[in-house]
């Protein structure tokens, strides 16, 4: 490495880099000290800013950051910023750091501002979901699904694909889960044989879909247990639900966010598998083994040249 004065580990943590930079601060030239001080005060800018952007912010020339990086053992700025970018990629930043990172995303202009708002909304939705959901409630709902004669998963519009995916994955393990509506028919048609001992997982978000609300009402009249998923406790699908889950869907764009909904369904699926009979794992393994045998999965080693 050029200008390497301070040895660093092969894969240093950002905290180690900042500590080393702090130790060297007093020994640096005035321009290098300006660059280093900016990094120490705004460490999250390192991960999201180009060398020109961070140089402009620090009021120094881009090459100053290259020389600063080399001073503490890196080959250049890209090598220097790699630990900071990896920290965010791995999701190990603290909440205050994340807040500063989100602010830094909005510095560029209109599109950068949109990017930062989308990131902030997605993170907030996930945090709200897991801070309010409780493991015992999820486990109780999972037990209903595992013990049901049949479980119907209802989602229309933006929730339809996620409902189908949940039913598809659950079907590998439990075998009694299916999604509705089917083949363009109204949801109530899929519940014609449903009754006591069955479960309906129903999800809808503002503006609430009439066909979902009506399907829930019909299912209740038939003695079906309801697991309701919506964005508010005032939602009509939660009023008669035995198990109620509120999933945040806030977003700065027009369409409802499904980030937290996807996370919720994945978590519920994990509880279903954890609560199911040990044979479930064997069922899933057989399912994938059969697919391998049928050639459904792409095998790079056996692919034709």
Q: Which residues of the chain does CATH 3.40.50.10490 include? A: 134-277
pLDDT tens digits for 21-62? 888 888 899 999 999 988 887 777 787 788 898 899 899 999
pLDDT tens digits for 85-112? 777 665 554 445 555 555 565 565 655 6
Q: Which residues of the chain does CATH 1.10.10.10 include? A: 14-89
- The 3-class secondary structure across the chain, one letter per residue, is CCCCCCCCCCCCCHHHHHHHHHHHHHHCCHHHHHHHHHHHHCHHHHHHCCHHHHHHHHCCCHHHHHHHHHHCCCCCHHHHHHHHHHHHHCCCCCHHHHHHHHHHHCCCCHHHHHHHHHHHHHHHHHHHHHHHCCHHHHHHHHHHHHHCCEEEEEECHHHHHHHHHHHHHHHHHCCCEEEECCCCCCHHHHHCCCCCCEEEEEECCCCCCHHHHHHHHHHHHCCCEEEEEECCCCCCCCCCCCEEEECCCCCCCCCCCCHHHHHHHHHHHHHHHHHCCCHHHHHHHHHHHHHHHCCCCCCHHHCCC
The pTM score is: 0.63
Say what the pLDDT of residue 6 is. 45
pLDDT tens digits for 226-260? 999 999 888 999 988 999 999 999 887 777 899 99
Which class is 14-89 in CATH? mainly alpha
CATH architecture of 134-277: 3-Layer(aba) Sandwich (3.40)
């Amino acid at each position: 490495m050029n200008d390497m004065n301070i040895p660093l580990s092969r894969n240093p943590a950002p905290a180690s880099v900042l500590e080393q930079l702090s130790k060297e601060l007093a020994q640096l030239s005035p321009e290098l000290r300006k660059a280093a001080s900016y990094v120490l005060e705004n460490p999250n800018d390192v991960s999201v800013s180009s060398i020109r952007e961070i140089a402009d912010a620090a009021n120094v020339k881009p090459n100053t950051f290259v020389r600063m990086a080399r001073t503490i053992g890196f080959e250049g700025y890209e090598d220097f910023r790699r630990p900071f970018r990896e920290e965010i990629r791995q999701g190990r930043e603290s909440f205050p750091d994340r807040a500063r990172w989100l602010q830094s995303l909005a510095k560029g202009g209109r599109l950068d501002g949109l990017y930062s708002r989308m990131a902030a909304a997605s993170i907030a939705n996930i945090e709200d979901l897991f801070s309010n959901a409780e493991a015992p409630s999820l486990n109780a709902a999972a037990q209903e699904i595992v013990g049901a004669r049949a479980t119907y998963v209802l989602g229309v519009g933006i929730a339809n694909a996620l409902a189908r995916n949940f039913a598809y994955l659950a079907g590998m393990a439990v075998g009694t889960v299916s999604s509705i509506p089917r083949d363009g028919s109204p949801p109530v048609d899929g519940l014609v044989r449903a009754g006591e001992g069955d479960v309906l997982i129903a999800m809808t978000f503002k503006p609430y879909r009439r066909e979902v609300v009506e399907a829930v009402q019909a299912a209740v009249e038939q003695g079906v247990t309801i697991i309701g998923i919506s964005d508010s406790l005032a939602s009509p699908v939660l009023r008669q639900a035995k198990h109620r889950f509120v999933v945040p869907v806030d977003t700065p764009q027009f369409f409802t966010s499904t980030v937290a909904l996807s996370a919720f369904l994945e978590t519920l699926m994990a509880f279903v598998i954890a609560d199911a009979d040990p044979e479930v794992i064997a069922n899933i393994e057989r399912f994938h083994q059969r697919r391998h045998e049928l050639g459904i999965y792409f095998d790079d080693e056996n692919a034709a040249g």
